[in-house]
Structure 1
């Protein structure tokens, strides 16, 4: 479905989607439907250049253990994507997916029983794992791949205290707005290229007696996270990546003028009765509407737009065509001007706890353009920021759009802020206070309460 679990928030996303019984139609997204055995066979049988792995010596009969939060059914494309490496080297990759990964990987590392490689979905967790003293720095071959195929922004998230540990793996894009292409065409609406144009478009929709936006933030124990994504997107757009980094790392206070302005900018959309909540209710209905249901009124033209990540593609009903000429598609949430390309997103990183030759060889494979393109041919709902990825290998239009955004040389990628903040803030007070804000709490009280919760 989503392709890459990224956080406790993501597990709530996945569980909620499955419980809602909503199915992502691969055919509707342009997927050929070949995710089964034929695709696996093609990928595993395809020839790759084995020479990058010969320098690690004779690896036949060796085993590398991989531990991750990516579980059934998303695990199959992962496992299949390792076959070319296994055939090249004679290494067996032992895969273990666990829904309790974030908790258990720390337990295992501290107990001296870590896996060879862990797919870590948060920079904050990566830092905690490095702090155990059990993680090892990435080999030079892996770092060379990252320098070649990723931007410095991405490399920085795998770097702790100046030492490079973990190459990026998969990614998702959060800076997207879902809409109906046919509704836009019939109404004469153009996709906006600046924040001012986005606001003007919203006003035009109101003048046309339409509700511009629909939204929902209910996600069980994780209720509130969609608001934090909105705030993070606007912090990044209003103040740029450097200030965003200071905000995430608490180098500027959470109740400073920047946070206040970001909340107020979001409020101009989400707390505006004229703008929301098409097909669902008033402003307060945002807090009670599940995020899975929030965008569905677009299909009935009850609302025009829904800001949500690329993984929302999984929530459209069976048979919905997700494409530029389909029932729904998405556009990039614009920056302050057309040249600014701030991108909010998430992803995983490959952290090793062993420096055996076979582990280094596998890290090098996973950081290569070879693996990225092999994985792309096997998966739907997966993308990477690897610059060697050929977007034509991706399975559906929303993946291709995400890759275009991520691989744009002008893009300034920043990882989800709440996933980097201390848990007491990122997955607690920020979510809860943002929910209270949606239901009527004022901005000052909201940012003051979040600031008070920051660990001393």
Structure 2
């Protein structure tokens, strides 16, 4: 899952007795809590965990690790991996000091690790718990060649459009339910004096998210899956149609604040600032649930009051899309503490583990057994419910499933080509051909 370029929580009640006790123990800094395998059973062992999280995300995940320590007696150490998880883990394995557990943010990287023989299949206990709590699609994304390697613990809902309520009210528009209504509402907003969208064109990953939502709704999940695996060429008419639809936004200066010129100089945090900052330049910003965290932490907005969202609307005759991202916990085969590592992932599979971070904020769980009241505000609660209720219709961020050379490299591949398309959206067929050429090279077919 692509990360915001600012130190913001991503990608929040009454909780179960187990959770409440875990929090009490964590706050006290020690002691025994409810155990998956007996309090103190792992005393004297250290489990090293690597992940991309920094700032508030890292702080809140450490609360989860503290709850695990309280249950088992194990010590935990978190090691920041940086954004290039693949390079980090490869170098650690080569140096003989690999972490025990890694939180992997991309399906493609998880598959790479599994095919390289770096991972140990997760335990039967984790599999059973995950089966009870996760929609099958989440287990499928963590499975490679029939073996279950990756437990999705943290998720992002990337089908949300955030807006400033006062701007919407002033323009007299309602939350749109369809793509056509969205465009109409946007033009009405522009006529009222504020362009519709702040677009973070400087960050290519935001443009892939725009495309993926349009494509999933318009072309449907089957074609989405085939395109993600490059079993369908990017020159397919469905891609051209989606690009043509997306061009309806990109080519209209009433819809894109400052037009393409400003959008291509706007990064993700800047796009949120254009809507929720002290000098608004747009009424809406499309991106994931984590927009609410940026609006809150950086600009003092209260999600659900000063910053609201509506679901990305259905396009044409399709259904409303739900595109997601997420971080999967994997156990490395070279783990020094294999038992502790497996026990940690077993804990992460439980709703109690997710509820620790849910209470802290900046978190969504794909686990349907997480209690709604564990989330600290109605907006996060509604976003989590939308993600869970989507079930198997959820689709993982397509660019995160692709080889990094195509779907995850600044100034290259899909990111660069969609930036060029934002700059000049007049020829969707040519853009589709450029995407196919880059994809064929990256996928090797």
Judged with a 3 Å threshold, the aligned counterparts in structure 2 of structure 1 residues 349 and 225 are, in CA distance, closer, same or farther, namely same
In structure 1, which of residues 375, 378, 382 is the aligned counterpart of residue 357 of structure 2?
375
Secondary structure of residue in 2 paired with 1:334: coil
In structure 2, which of residues 278, 282, 286 is the aligned counterpart of residue 303 of structure 1?
282
Judged with a 3 Å threshold, the aligned counterparts in structure 2 of structure 1 residues 374 and 282 are, in CA distance, closer, same or farther, namely closer
Q: Is the 8 A contact 2:25 2:32 kept in 1?
A: no
TM-score, reference length from structure 2: 0.85
Match of 2:268 in 1: 291
Secondary structure of residue in 1 paired with 2:394: strand
Q: Is the 8 A contact 1:340 1:411 kept in 2?
A: no
Instruction: Write the distance in 2 (CA, Å) between the matches of 1:92 and 1:53.
Output: 15
Match of 1:415 in 2: 396
Q: Is the 8 A contact 2:252 2:259 kept in 1?
A: no
Report the alpha carbon displacement of residue 415 of structure 1 after superposing the two structures with TM. Answer: 1.3
In structure 1, which of residues 366, 375, 388 is the aligned counterpart of residue 348 of structure 2?
366
Report the alpha carbon displacement of residue 101 of structure 1 after superposing the two structures with TM. Answer: 3.4
Match of 1:255 in 2: 235
Q: Is the 8 A contact 2:197 2:256 kept in 1?
A: yes
Instruction: Write the distance in 2 (CA, Å) between the matches of 1:113 and 1:224.
Output: 34
Match of 1:394 in 2: 375
Judged with a 3 Å threshold, the aligned counterparts in structure 2 of structure 1 residues 70 and 303 are, in CA distance, closer, same or farther, namely closer
User: For residues 25-424 of structure 1, what are the structure 2 equivalents within 5 Å?
Assistant: 41-42=26-27, 49-50=34-35, 52-54=36-38, 58-99=41-82, 100-109=84-93, 113-206=97-190, 208=192, 210-218=194-202, 223-277=203-257, 281-299=258-276, 302-316=281-295, 318-326=298-306, 328-336=307-315, 340-354=319-333, 356-377=338-359, 379-409=360-390, 412-424=393-405
Instruction: Write the distance in 2 (CA, Å) between the matches of 1:338 and 1:182.
Output: 31
Secondary structure of residue in 1 paired with 2:220: helix
Secondary structure of residue in 2 paired with 1:191: coil
Report the alpha carbon displacement of residue 47 of structure 1 after superposing the two structures with TM. Answer: 7.8
Report the alpha carbon displacement of residue 108 of structure 1 after superposing the two structures with TM. Answer: 2.8
| Deviation sequence 1:308-355 (CA, Å, 0-9, x none) | 2222234437453232222x2222112248993421121100110248
Instruction: Write the distance in 2 (CA, Å) between the matches of 1:69 and 1:388.
Output: 26
| Deviation sequence 1:125-175 (CA, Å, 0-9, x none) | 111111221311000000111111111111111100121111111111111
Match of 1:432 in 2: 416
User: For residues 440-451 of structure 1, what are the structure 2 equivalents within 5 Å?
Assistant: 440=424, 442-451=427-436
Q: Is the 8 A contact 1:110 1:132 kept in 2?
A: no
Judged with a 3 Å threshold, the aligned counterparts in structure 2 of structure 1 residues 178 and 338 are, in CA distance, closer, same or farther, namely farther
Match of 1:3 in 2: none
Q: Is the 8 A contact 1:366 1:372 kept in 2?
A: yes
Judged with a 3 Å threshold, the aligned counterparts in structure 2 of structure 1 residues 345 and 66 are, in CA distance, closer, same or farther, namely same
Aligned residue pairs, count: 419
Judged with a 3 Å threshold, the aligned counterparts in structure 2 of structure 1 residues 43 and 250 are, in CA distance, closer, same or farther, namely farther
Match of 2:16 in 1: none
Report the alpha carbon displacement of residue 81 of structure 1 after superposing the two structures with TM. Answer: 1.6
Q: Is the 8 A contact 1:116 1:353 kept in 2?
A: yes
Question: Unaligned 5+ residue runs, structure 1?
Answer: 1-5, 31-37
Secondary structure of residue in 2 paired with 1:283: helix
